[in-house]
Structure 1
Amino acid sequence: MPLETIRTLAGNLLAGTARPDRLARVPFQMTRYGAVPAVVGAMSALRFPHRVALIDERGTLTFAELERKAAALATALRDSVTGDGRIGVLARNHRGFVLAVLGLSRLGHDVVLLNTDFSAPQLGAVADREGIALLLHDAEFDELVDASGFAGVRVHSYGDAQLGSLIEDVEPVPFSPERPGRLVIMTSGTTGTPKGARHDYSLPALLAGGLSFARRAPMRSGSPVVVAPPLFHVLGFGFLMMGLALGSPVVLAPRFDPAATLAAIERHEAGTLVAVPIMLQRMLDVPYGPRPMSLRTVLCGGSALLPHLSERFMDEFGDVLRNLYGATETGWAAIATPEDLRAAPGTVGRPSLGIKVKILDADGRELPAGETGEIFTGGGLRFSGYTGGGGKDVRNGLTATGDLGHLDASGRLFVDGRADDMIVSGGENVFPGEVEDLLNRHEDVAEVTVTGVPDDTFGERLAAHVVLVPGAATTADDLRDYVRQRLARFKVPRDIVFVPELPRTSTGKVRRRSLPDA
């Protein structure tokens, strides 16, 4: 283990200036609440009471203030949910979201993180399926919630004084739930109806995950962390919890703005940025944007990080980029260091500590290095099924990810694409990522996505939706020739559609169903 990593890990373990009597109470928080988000806030309030915990557009909160408000919220609302009723949180990135999760996860009811991109019918269907009885939502979603038909208890988490008045009027009362609640995170729903994924957390798994990040993605206790992805997403939520656990100020903004994010990193001298690939692209495109010298670690995940983007980002920001791979159902499975990304562009790295990654064929046989099959993982967070029923394919204790990939001779993992995204054209298998990466390297291309569309002759053909840089005059034939000169003929998109922008979710994934017809 590198000396710098050892120093960082030791510093994180020894961080905190709490009195011995306060430190002695830290382990009992797990006993009281179980492995739920509330434990993170309670433990950190004991270790770092006077440190800044959150920074948002309303100012700052210390860990002691955050814990007091979270406990008061739990006290105020503990009788609002009975039986097996669940709690929903529909909020953007701000203190209201954090208070809702840290406060209400101690009540013994499952907490469901809801996607702010939901339509009214989606929200209604999910709330009904998940049995949500109490919904904390931002005031901006009033009309959405009205139209969804939700009939349970509603509390504003942001946008007026309701949450603040609830907290200020209540004296926190300590209590222990009859059973630990679970956290339910929704899948993206880009290929179907969003599902709720349940996990069973264990202390060994959480410690192993933390140690793995300390080894490959060092984050220093007390150093500010800018979390740009939505907190309802596993990437944003995971590093919100990681930052709070380390006693680091977490910097949040309700909506991502690339220039504002760069300014926030520089203003707060943040050491860590968490982002999805399209956010990195947007930051690179900011004219004369700063390249903050404080950044030591940039953690990227949520969708494919194509080689052209990782190379350009590290060329401008330095070798600080880490690529994370995982899924809502299975948690993080692999981490690529800057050294990995330089040596093998496109890799998602090696398996995390305690994680097994295997490439299996359709019959469940393990494939050797270089051969593509489905990625199976195991040993981390234990996926306990979808809340609406069903689960993932499990073989020999390993859970299917739904991704196809391969390992190289050095044990690095590469994700070739989603199994349902693979295009079979004239009997040839084509993964869109390879074609997208090449087209993104064209000087006149700002963004591109490649999909398969039905074809009477070949079964499927490739279609590329392209956003050109302003003022570019490149034609569809120019781009076809560009691909034809560098890749096999069957990988050349027959259809090229120029669009002003690509429709994306709030986590940066392209909404392929919303693309115009080729």
Structure 2
Amino acid sequence: MKVFKLIYVLYKIKLLSPLGLYRFITSFFACGMNLMTLLHFAEKKYANKTVLVDDKETLSYSQLLAESYQLAIYLKENYQIQSGQKVGFLCKNHASLVKAIFAVSRLGADLYLLNAELKTSQFNQFVERHDFDFLIYDLEFTDVVHHSDYSNAKLLSYHDQLAAIDNIVHSTKTSKLALPRYSTSKLVLQTSGTTGMSKEAPHKPSLFNYLNPFAAFLQRLKILNYKTAYIGSPLFHGYGIAVLLLFIPLGKKVVISHTFEASKACRLIRDHQAEVVTLVPLMLQKMLQHNVDDLRSLVCVASGGAKLSTKLVDETQRFLGDVLYNLYGTSESGLNFIATPEDLRYSPATIGKRINGMAVRVDEQMEEGKSGQVGQLCIKNDWSISNKNNTWIQTGDLAYKDENDYYFLCGRSDDMVVSGGENVYPIEVEQVVIQHSFIEDVAVVGVQDEQFGQRLTAFVLLTEDADLTEKDLLEWMRLRLPRFQIPKSITFVHHMPYTLQGKLDKKQLRRRIENEEK
């Protein structure tokens, strides 16, 4: 049945043809089932077309395939990288990372994409847990690596004198070594930020298992209509690497940059006339503030990885039209919900409707729940890390669906505040407060309170030159929020703490309160 479903979906999205089927079969027999198979398949059709642009180089499909393959041979001959080994990546967005991802996967080794914000102590935790056989890292992380307990072989991504991926692929003579097929490589993502010890989310390449999210992404975002995409989110994050691996077999040109800067991102979108951009909401907000005119080529703005505020939805619609899509997924469960521009017109707060092939529940009885019932969002699908066990994945997000089967987030389960016996969801307060014309950003957190058990406190970032007092803001809130949702205190801040993935770091804000109360 899966084979017939595959053929039907590929036919519907216009990717199936006798020649296309032949190319896929030959790529599979040449590489096995790993990430390099996608690139090998695409190169047969798009050989001389540009596939990747970064801060240093522009690569065609043929160049990327040849250099990735050459790197695979180098890693095998010089470091004996092979199936079953673990390779860590501590890199930001650049072409050397992309080449290394394909090369390591081609050798059958498991890829561990590590958060580029890791400190030495946190990196040591990964080293102790996994005992990586090999490490690929950026020069800027030298201190982290050299002061850690890691002692196995390693390779830099870029360097002028030392051995590094960029000079290896450009100076090493082409080898005639034929690599055997491998289908054992896993891509392992991290499920949380930089504080605490994250869990792993291992994903193994499977055309069958990822068929539904692949088809939903193509159809709902109309990706086949576009030629060029800018990926703003980090590739070590599940959202960034997933989009890259979706775009490459479609023959798209992908633009990436080492770090995100609003001015640079706007310029890249303008210069390459990118029609698609994938980013987190904070990046979109900064680009709109910098230069809207540079973004006129965009017809698909795919936001994911963090909460999308209703204010940002309204601003994007006002400045760019109906181009915004809200994607919801997790490292463990993959892509699960997509809100199209039409869905966001229905409600700017929705994450949309679920994609085909997945089951959802929002209560403890493993049912979808009644309309409006809030509970932890739990997901089961074929493309999650637990698909073999047919188990539910607890996302940690609170959610509900309405009478039209649209889903809405209510924040993290550990964000919910019980104040005076009332359940309060900070995200609902934030979505109201952010609508104030003098407020650029807001975060609401719960803290302990002797009288009410817990209370709300709001951190507010004002727009430039705004004149707003705590008293004025509280009076404005009382007209729009019920009493139990009114924060007990408001703190005006000069900036909000965000992670490299663009997620608001509320743990920092809670620590600030705790330190002030000591």
* Structure 2 counterpart SS, 1:78: helix
* Aligned partner of 1:513 among 502, 507, 512: 507
Question: Is the alpha carbon distance of 1:222 and 1:492 closer, same or farther for their aligned partners in structure 2, counting shifts above 3 Å?
Answer: closer
Structure 1 window deviating more from structure 2 (230-239 vs 219-228): it is 219-228
Q: Deviations over 1:39-75 (max 9, x none)?
A: 2211111121110010111131000000000001110
* CA distance 1:266–1:257, shift in 2 (3 Å): same
Is residue 444–residue 456 contact of structure 2 (8 Å, CA) maintained in 1? yes
Q: Which residue of 2 aligns with 1:126?
A: 126
The answer as to whether partners of 2:440 and 2:462 remain within 8 angstroms in 1 is yes
Work out which of the residue numbers 206, 209, 214 in structure 2 matches 1:205. Answer: 209
- What's the CA shift for 1:126? 1.0
Counterpart CA distance in 2 for 1:39 and 1:221 is 24
Equivalent of residue 444 in structure 1, options 417, 426, 438:
438
Counterpart CA distance in 1 for 2:39 and 2:90 is 20
Structure 1 residues 491-510: Cα deviation after superposition (integer angstroms, max 9, x where no partner): 11112112211111111112
SS at match of 1:375: strand
1:69 aligns with 2:72: no
Equivalent position to 2:362, from 353, 356, 359:
359
Matching of residue 473 in structure 1 with residue 467 in structure 2: yes
On the 8 A contact 2:281/2:307 being kept in 1, the answer is yes
The residue matched to 2:202 in structure 1 has which SS? strand
1:190 CA displacement: 5.9
* Residue pair 2:106, 2:182 contacting (<8 A) in 1 also: no
Partner of 2:409: 415
**Pair 1:111–1:411, CA change in 2 (3 A):** same
Matched residue, 1:464: 458
Q: Percent identity?
A: 33
Which one is further off, 50-59 or 27-36?
A: 27-36
Letter in 1 for 2:432: L
- Secondary structure, in 3 states, of the residue corresponding to 2:240? helix
Residues 178-227 of structure 1: per-residue CA shift (max 9 Å, x gap): 55110001112367322221124432222222211122111136611100
- Asked whether 1:171 is paired with 2:174, we answer yes
Q: Quick check: 130-139 or 159-168, which moved more?
A: 159-168
Structure-1 separation of matches of 2:455 and 2:160: 51
Residue 86 of structure 1: aligned partner: 86
Q: C-alpha deviations, 1:65-112, integer Å up to 9, x for none?
A: 000000011100125236743011111111011011011111111100
* 1:302-349: CA deviation from partner (whole Å, max 9, x where unpaired): 011121211111111110111011111000111001000011221111
Cα displacement (A) at 1:245: 1.6
CA distance in 2, matches of 1:272, 1:448: 28
Provide structure 2 residue ranges, at least 5 long, that are not aligned to the other structure: 1-9
Distance 1:190-1:456 versus aligned 2 partners, 3 A rule: farther
**Aligned residue identity for 1:26:** F
In 1, Cα distance between the equivalents of 2:472 and 2:159? 49
1:54 match:
52
1:251 alignment partner in structure 2: 255
* Residue in 1 that maps onto 2:3: none
Q: Which amino acid aligns with 1:454?
A: Q
2:491 paired residue number: 497
Distance 1:412 1:427, change over 3 A: same
Is 1:230 matched with 2:234? Answer: yes
Aligned 8 A contact 1:211 1:353 in 2:
no
SS in 2 for 1:305: coil
Query: What are the residue-to-residue correspondences of 1:219-368 with 2, within 5 Å?
Result: 219-220=223-224, 223-286=227-290, 288-360=291-363, 362-368=364-370
User: Is contact 2:292–2:319 with CA below 8 Å preserved after alignment?
Assistant: no
Indicate if the aligned counterparts of 1:376 and 1:400 stay in contact, CA closer than 8 A: yes
Gapped regions of structure 1 (runs ≥ 5): 1-7, 386-390
Q: TM-score scaled to structure 2, two decimals? A: 0.90
Q: Which residue of 2 aligns with 1:388?
A: none
User: TM-score, length-normalised on structure 1?
Assistant: 0.90
1 or 2 for the larger relative contact order (CA 8 Å, sep ≥6)? 1
Amino acid at match of 2:142: D
Pairwise CA RMSD: 2.5
Alignment of 1:382-461 (within 5 A): 382-384=384-386, 397-461=391-455
Residue pair 2:83, 2:108 contacting (<8 A) in 1 also: no
Pick the aligned partner of 2:376 from 371, 374, 391: 374
For 1:152 and 1:63, the matched residues in 2 are separated by 32
Give the letter for the 1:104 counterpart.
Answer: V
Equivalent runs, 1:2-81 vs 2, <5 Å: 13=15, 24-79=22-77, 80=79, 81=81
Q: State the AA in 2 paired with 1:152.
A: N
Letter in 2 for 1:378: K
Distance 1:433 1:160, change over 3 A: farther
- The 8 Å contact of residues 449 and 455 in structure 2, kept in 1 or not, is answered as yes
> 1-side partners of 2:62 and 2:194: how far apart?
39
* Counterpart for residue 5 of structure 1: none
Q: SS of the residue aligned with 2:395?
A: strand
CA-to-aligned-CA distance 1:357-394 (integer Å, 9 cap, x gap): 2322x344441111111212222413149xxxxx9xx8
* C-alpha distance 186-96 of structure 1, shift in aligned 2 (>3 A): same
**Is the contact between residue 70 and residue 99 of structure 1 (CA under 8 Å) also seen in structure 2?**
yes
- Relative distance call for 1:366 and 1:163 in structure 2 (3 A) is closer
Q: What is aligned with 2:149? A: 149
Displacement of 1:132 in angstroms is 1.1
String of CA shifts for 1:449-484, please: whole Å, max 9, x gaps: 111111111111111111112222311222222212
Letter in 2 for 1:307: T
Relative distance call for 1:239 and 1:331 in structure 2 (3 A) is same
- Give the 3 Å change call, closer, same or farther, for CA 68–82 of structure 1 in structure 2: closer
- The structure carrying a bigger helix percent of its residues is 2
After superposition, the Cα gap between the structure-2 partners of 1:481 and 1:140, relative to the gap in structure 1 and judged at 3 Å, is same
Matched-pair contact (CA < 8 Å) for 1:201–1:382: no
Structure 2 match to 1:105: 105
Indicate if the aligned counterparts of 2:267 and 2:294 stay in contact, CA closer than 8 A.
no
